[in-house]
Copies of this chain bind each other. A is one copy, B any other.
């Protein structure tokens, strides 16, 4: 009777044997065959005595997976290893992809166990201070398997939303433009003196740690086994360590205040969820929905929805059951104005206002998906009606307005009439 084979996907940690988990060491000890990238296998040489070792070159991930599966299907216990955590930019992904393509199931196929490890983000952060105490993201700058446009969009989002950002695979001999471009994207949203750590070969013989600034990145040596940690807007560098404080004390105004005397340590901040909603209602009542959205960096739909659920609000907000009907009505409001307002950029209040006089030509929106078009003397507005996913009627004592919102929660246009 043949034994059931097994693949142990093992994360080796950053490099030093001491940084492996007990389970990872035990998994290697239990394996008959160890498969991995040549360089990483060298770092665990003392554990490999008496084992079949399959050392592969870089970029042969699929060959490693096929070999691991073939051997496990023949009844062997195979350790397939990655440096760091095998689940983060490691071999667990390609192996499971390969198995699922072969219609593997845990019941019918070989046994698989993922043994996690210390990922580069944790290892590098530990050598730098405490840069990851807060929300962070990990982005690989390798465009060998991911289109650059996807990577660039993620860098943009990470920079905008103030994530501490860990860059894996920042540069290789052949890939140098990517890091320069990543720096340019980050510098559009972060100050040039943003703390930046360059950690090279963490927990390996040639380890080095440099603390510099985002602006000076290109002056430093960065290679294949370097990892970059880019601070967020509150990260500081002091005494040779980089720390991202949790407090936010100095960053926000009254709607976003940090812990104050009198706050309870086990309860949400007064600027936490309940407090946020309360402050939002007050702020929107005083300064309007668009200004509140700009201030919070939230899409206006989020503010509108919060107000609907808040009968305490001085703004009456009603979700329109049918956006087209509301639009048709609003086009005939007396003295109505169409506002286009670029609320997505916090610093920006570019506003165009178009008057809905009798001279205005109106067309659509057509039931066939034709765009709604309005045109007056010297202006024209075209709105693809398919882009409108929700609409709200908002009233206060000054005016009534109809808001037309996109899928991402941005305001496409609003039509206002004085009350």
Q: Which of B21, B95, B151, B245 contacts A93 (CB 8 A)?
A: B245
Q: Are A96 and B129 touching (Cβ within 8 A)?
A: yes
Q: Which of A116, A272, A383 has the most CB of B within 10 A?
A: A116
A118 to B20, CA, bound (A): 10
A413 CB-CB contact with B under 8 Å: yes
The answer to the question of A217 belonging to the interface, with a C-beta cut-off of 8 Å to chain B, is no
Once bound together, how far apart are the Cα atoms of A131 and B100, in whole Å?
Answer: 13
A22-B17, A246-B93 given as contacts; is B152 within 8 A of A298 (CB)? yes
CB distance from A130 to the nearest CB of B (A): 4
Give which listed residue, B94, B119, B379, contacts A352 with CB less than 8 A.
B379
- Tell me if B162 and A150 are in contact (CB < 8 A): yes
Q: Mark A139-151, 1 if CB is under 8 A from B, else 0.
A: 1100111111111
Task: Give the shortest distance, in Å, between A336 (CB) and chain B (any CB).
Answer: 12
Partner of A21, one of B13, B133, B149: B13
Please tell me which stretch of A28-36, A66-74, A83-91, A315-323 contacts chain B, meaning at least 4 of its Cβ atoms lie within 8 angstroms of it: A83-91
On whether the beta carbons of A135 and B139 are closer than 8 Å, the reply is yes
Extra contacts besides A97-B246, A147-B256 (6): CB < 8 Å: A87-B132, A88-B133, A89-B133, A93-B244, A147-B258, A157-B158
Q: Is the CB of A267 within 8 A of B144?
A: yes
Q: How far is the CA of A20 from the CA of B26 in the complex (A)?
A: 12
Q: Which of A38-46, A48-56, A173-181, A393-401 forms part of the interface with chain B?
A: A173-181
Given contacts A161-B157, A378-B354, contact A347 B387 (CB under 8 A): yes
Tell which of B25, B60, B147 touches A269, judged by Cβ atoms closer than 8 Å: B147
A145 to B379, CA, bound (A): 49
**A198 at interface, CB cutoff 8 A:** no
Check if A204 is an interface residue, CB within 8 A of chain B.
Answer: no
- Min distance, Cβ A179 to any Cβ of chain B, angstroms: 10
> Which residues from chain B contact A252 at a C-beta distance below 8 Å?
147, 150
Q: Is A225 an interface residue (CB 8 A)?
A: no
Which of B114, B129, B246, B256 is in CB contact (< 8 Å) with A149? B256
- Leading 5 A-B pairs by shortest Cβ distance: A93-B133, A157-B161, A143-B272, A137-B137, A114-B126
A252–B148 Cα distance when bound, in Å, is 12
CB-defined contacts of A137 to chain B, threshold 8 Å: 135-138, 158, 163
| Nearest B residue to A376, CB-CB | B378
Any chain B CB within 8 A of the CB of A261?
no
Q: Is A185 an interface residue (CB 8 A)?
A: yes
Determine which of B138, B360, B382 lies in contact with A136 in the assembled complex, contact meaning CB atoms within 8 Å.
B138
26 contacts between A and B (CB under 8 A): A14-B116, A22-B22, A60-B265, A90-B133, A93-B133, A93-B243, A94-B133, A97-B243, A114-B130, A146-B246, A147-B257, A147-B276, A149-B255, A149-B298, A154-B162, A157-B157, A158-B161, A160-B408, A175-B268, A345-B407, A347-B387, A348-B410, A350-B383, A352-B382, A353-B380, A360-B378
Contacts of A149 in B (CB 8 A): 255-256, 271, 276, 296-298
- Taking CB as reference atom, which chain B residue is nearest A238? B100
Q: Which residue of B lies closest to A247 (CB)?
A: B145
Set B14, B347, B408: member contacting A345, Cβ < 8 A: B408
The answer to whether B342 and A355 touch across the interface, beta carbons within 8 angstroms, is: no
Provide the residues of chain B in CB contact with A301, threshold 8 Å: 188
Instruction: Judge whether B145 and A269 touch: CB under 8 Å.
Output: yes
A117 lies within 8 A of chain B by Cβ: yes
- A116 touches which one: B122, B178, B248, B257 (CB < 8 A)? B122
Contact: A386 with B347, CB < 8 Å? Answer: yes
